[in-house]
């Protein structure tokens, strides 16, 4: 690229390649046990149902499905989203729903609307790496909310006064896997309301529970001050690239305008296909199958960690989602260790990538979504062996 021809905007210096995408490039490496990616299991995709839905759509609605549509998205799909969320305790109207190209686009649109140079956006510590990347080009300063194992501390939210929003993942968070309890959700919403601190609630994993569904969304306790993002990527398939943003009407109108400028609308064909799938009533049965698949992976990873790493690390067993968050001894730098881990046949995501300011360099995120139980055990065993070897080598150097 000729830098003398193209003069780039200042904000391009804030763009950075995704560590997740870089790891995805390695997934085809022969023999590599991939515990680092955040992909859903392709074995659980409803491929045959999508094929049949595509055939019906292109047979019954070919002209409409291949044409432009409204920026807001298909009304019937928005009505389905509104009804589904109302069942979960978040009463909304279809007029508040915007269909997006995945919830990642929702993050970008909200950031475009709220953030600019000299502003702040508050995030959990740790938080979703993709959100930090979505916020960065808009030049806001990301600050960290004080958290414990149950999520942000309501009594410490006053420290975030003036922030344009607090970004939350209440359900089976990426990367920690933790779920904010009902009482904490009520407290967070009440404190945010009293401060006038808008909430951005991201919920891609809420349907991936193993024993019981999570509490009602935080947005249910302060709907007029919360933007809620959801996705079909984890419950159907990410290749469809469909999500949704639910917001108060004045905010909704601005988000629609921002999306119209960005891409006019999300894929009409994908919307018709997803709507057809949902109308068949297949979703709940499909989700039962996905939960069983992920529970098996969760249990396999819990057993492997107990077998190989109980004296090396600490972790909590998640009640849903796709991830374990593991803390290694403080002398281990997980980012520095990663290239060696890949050579030994296992990948993970270093924990430092998930922090806006104060990274935990001895933490790792492990995914149990895509590998078989046997390969999960193989990967954890390889990682444990490498950590032991590293600690032994460090001990020898210190003597």
Kindly calculate the radius of gyration of the chain based on its CA atoms and give it in whole angstroms.
22
**Residues 27 and 131 grouped into a single domain:** no
Q: Identify the pLDDT of residue 26.
A: 62
DSSP letters of 129-141?
HHHHHHHGGGTPE
Q: Identify the pLDDT of residue 15.
A: 78
Residue-level pLDDT, tens digit, the chain, 399 residues: 455 798 888 888 877 766 666 665 665 677 899 999 889 999 999 999 999 999 999 999 999 999 999 999 999 999 999 999 999 999 999 999 999 999 999 999 999 999 999 999 999 999 999 999 999 999 999 999 999 999 999 999 999 999 999 999 999 999 999 999 999 999 999 999 999 999 999 999 999 999 999 999 999 999 999 999 999 999 999 999 999 999 999 999 999 999 999 999 999 999 999 999 999 999 999 999 999 999 999 999 999 999 999 999 999 999 999 999 999 999 999 999 999 999 999 999 999 999 999 999 999 999 999 999 999 999 999 999 999 999 998 776 655
The Cα-based distances of 137 to 12, 105, 113, 133, 314 in angstroms read: 7, 14, 12, 8, 35
Q: Does the residue 10 lie in any domain?
A: no
φ, ψ (nearest 5 deg) of residue 90: -110, 100
Query: Total domain count for the chain?
Result: 2
**Residues 292 and 251 grouped into a single domain:** no
Q: Does the residue 5 lie in any domain?
A: no
Task: Using the 3D structure, point to which of 230, 246, 279 is the last residue of a domain.
Answer: 279
Q: What is the domain extent for residue 188?
A: 47-279
**Residues 275 and 164 grouped into a single domain:** yes
Q: Identify the pLDDT of residue 141.
A: 96
Q: Identify the pLDDT of residue 32.
A: 94
Q: Does the residue 28 lie in any domain?
A: yes
Burial (CB count <10 Å: 0-12, 13-18, 19+), residue 188:
buried
Q: Does the residue 221 lie in any domain?
A: yes
**Residues 227 and 146 grouped into a single domain:** yes
Q: Does the residue 58 lie in any domain?
A: yes
Q: Identify the pLDDT of residue 25.
A: 66
**Residues 233 and 377 grouped into a single domain:** no
Q: Provide the 8-state DSSP code for 102.
A: H
Q: Provide the 8-state DSSP code for 246.
A: E
Helix, strand, coil tally for the chain in percent (to 5): 50, 15, 35
Q: How far apart are CA 49 and CA 47, in angstroms?
A: 5
**Residues 240 and 164 grouped into a single domain:** yes
**Residues 294 and 253 grouped into a single domain:** no
Q: Identify the pLDDT of residue 8.
A: 85
**Residues 380 and 318 grouped into a single domain:** yes
**Residues 137 and 241 grouped into a single domain:** yes
Q: Does the residue 12 lie in any domain?
A: no
Quick check: helix, strand or coil at residue 5? coil
**Residues 260 and 275 grouped into a single domain:** yes
Q: How far apart are CA 192 and CA 22, in angstroms?
A: 36
Provide the phi-psi class of 162: left if phi over 0, else alpha when psi is between -120 and 50, else beta: left
């Amino acid at each position: 690229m000729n830098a003398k021809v193209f003069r780039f905007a200042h904000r391009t210096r804030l763009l950075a390649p995704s560590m997740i995408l870089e790891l995805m490039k390695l997934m085809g490496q022969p023999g590599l046990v991939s515990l680092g990616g955040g992909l859903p299991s392709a074995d659980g995709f409803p491929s045959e149902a999508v094929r049949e839905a595509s055939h019906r759509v292109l047979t019954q609605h070919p002209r409409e499905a291949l044409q432009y549509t409204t920026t807001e998205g298909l009304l019937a799909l928005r009505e389905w989203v509104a009804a589904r969320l109302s069942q979960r305790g978040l009463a909304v109207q279809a007029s508040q729903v915007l269909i997006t190209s995945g919830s990642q686009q929702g993050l970008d649109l909200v950031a475009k609307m709220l953030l600019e140079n000299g502003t702040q956006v508050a995030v959990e510590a740790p938080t979703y790496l993709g959100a930090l990347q979505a916020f960065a080009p808009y030049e806001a300063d990301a600050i960290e909310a004080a958290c414990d194992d149950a999520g942000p501390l309501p009594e410490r939210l006053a420290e975030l006064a003036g922030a344009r929003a607090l970004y939350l993942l209440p359900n089976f968070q990426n990367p920690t896997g933790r779920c904010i309890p009902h009482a904490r959700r009520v407290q967070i919403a009440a404190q945010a309301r009293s401060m006038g601190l808008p909430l951005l609630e991201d919920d891609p994993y809420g349907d991936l529970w193993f024993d019981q569904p999570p509490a009602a969304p935080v947005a249910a306790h302060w709907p007029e001050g919360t933007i809620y993002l959801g996705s079909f990527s984890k419950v159907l398939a990410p290749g469809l690239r469909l999500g949704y943003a639910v917001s108060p009407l004045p905010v909704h109108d601005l988000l629609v305008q921002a999306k119209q400028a960005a891409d006019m609308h999300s894929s009409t064909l994908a919307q018709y296909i997803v709507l057809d799938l949902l109308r068949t009533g297949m979703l709940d049965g499909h989700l039962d199958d996905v939960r069983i698949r992920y529970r098996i992976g969760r249990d396999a990873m819990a057993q492997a960690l107990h077998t190989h790493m109980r004296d090396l690390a600490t972790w909590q067993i998640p009640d849903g989602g796709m991830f374990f968050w593991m803390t290694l001894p403080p002398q281990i730098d997980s980012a520095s260790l990663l290239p060696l881990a890949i050579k030994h046949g296992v990948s993970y995501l270093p924990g430092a990538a998930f922090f806006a300011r104060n990274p935990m360099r001895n933490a790792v995120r492990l995914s149990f979504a895509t590998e078989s139980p046997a390969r999960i055990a193989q990967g954890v065993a390889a990682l444990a062996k490498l950590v032991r070897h590293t600690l032994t080598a460090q001990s020898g150097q210190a003597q």
